[in-house]
Structure 1
């Protein structure tokens, strides 16, 4: 019999359950038909985020993949080219959506833990030539999932913004964990709204909502986005129950993100002291990615931890990922560390 002391789910920050306060907010939400623009709570969520980031309009969607793919379609035409890092979520984890939805090609760059610079991007922008796809969009990710939660500061983004303006290109932010980045940089969200043509804000990761992301952009962009969302089957009806969870998350779960970062750092520091860990990326936010030595099979390692009630994912050759979140407490971190020390 498995004598598991507790269950510690470190697979992703998407596994969180709504808190009692969030459930109450969902239960009491005022709803209407959002396709008609009549859901009060959806409208309130969209208004809250557009004002926070200083953008003209916003659109609530079921997922970050949908908001990213809508944005890419808004900012490109068939035969255009999207520039992003080779680890980017929009390229690796959205099912080939750039090709399928937008008929665009992708120029992949090798950034620093997923972070690009203007100097890296500029030489890859195609000149006007019928032999080349037209470079029309740059996509950044903040924080970077495969970069171990690495993040951009505004000072790092600013030169990319100016380059895109100079080259008449659009700039989109996959802000799946944008509030994790802001928790570390203390940057003003309105500066993001000034520099990006589109911003995808995910509510179902570190913020702990059960589902949903919001696309921010100009009035013209969001009007186009609504049509694309409809075609993709993403038109909501009484979605206010879900939007209420997003509003609650923004009001109650942003300031506590530092707790997740602290837990991640504790894990990363401890992992570096274990004999079977070959390397570990810096835990800048809430993601810990570490490399096992050659003696340990990643799949067997995951199974071994699961036997002790600790869930995690393999993340490439010899790589393991832990993600901390609001359902992980200090006792769970201590239990995980005790368990790791017993593994040989």
Structure 2
């Protein structure tokens, strides 16, 4: 027999299902539902099956502790990261933890592995834990399905007194109970590309990033706006996207340089890790940085100061992103509450990897 479609909560107008909703759906009494869930009284197998099906269809939170403490929060902030190895995620998570401690909250960290489905499942699980807020960090592949899932989870968290916070990514939709803390990603890319252009560079190779990811989308937008502002027609051959890990930049540059001398005078790398690998590929091809080719990165990771030459890059307020995410979410219901959608600034850090282009 085909499984009944999962009820996404629309029939409940976005609120969390109650035990009365389950009883109504199953056609039994509230007492019978309670007996099935607690397991402390014998119930006919057919009745039990009807109740459990209603629980599943209505996405009812079976959490005895939460029921007993109705309305009581766990004093926990949950933060979901794509991985634990990226300095970007770690530094934002550090800000979340700092503010959580200042607000007398515990910080819980989990990883999604960059899997949108796992992210959704984790948020659903955390809702059962009665956390004060769930903070999602970093860019995402923005699809209609993602927005639909996030809208549903935002409403369910809100109905339970919790809060969905997106940090370093755009809002999943308008008029949703979501706290949004962004940084000026596109503006930082515009400034980075604009800096190269102001130094005389006209053929700037943009390298790295998943084109479907919101972070890549915004950085490409800034790059394109800057070149357009200088009256430069876009050359698709100067945009290499398809991966977000450092080896992608190294392999792509090695292949391009193997075909002949650089047909670009500057490299705008998706992040500092890619910029560092680009430096290696250029050095191996006997291309001097910045004498022959200038390189600029993004994120201002610690290694940007340690590579040679020290990397010019875009600085992101990592720690402040995390702190703001917690502060705004926890104080959203106070009189004169702060805006629940803020954008923090970025700026260029000038080091040694960029030089003015001399006409040759």
* TM-score (ref. length: structure 2): 0.33
Q: Which of structures 1 and 2 has the larger relative contact order (alpha carbons within 8 angstroms, sep 6+)?
A: 1
If the length of structure 1 is used for normalisation, what is the TM-score?
A: 0.35
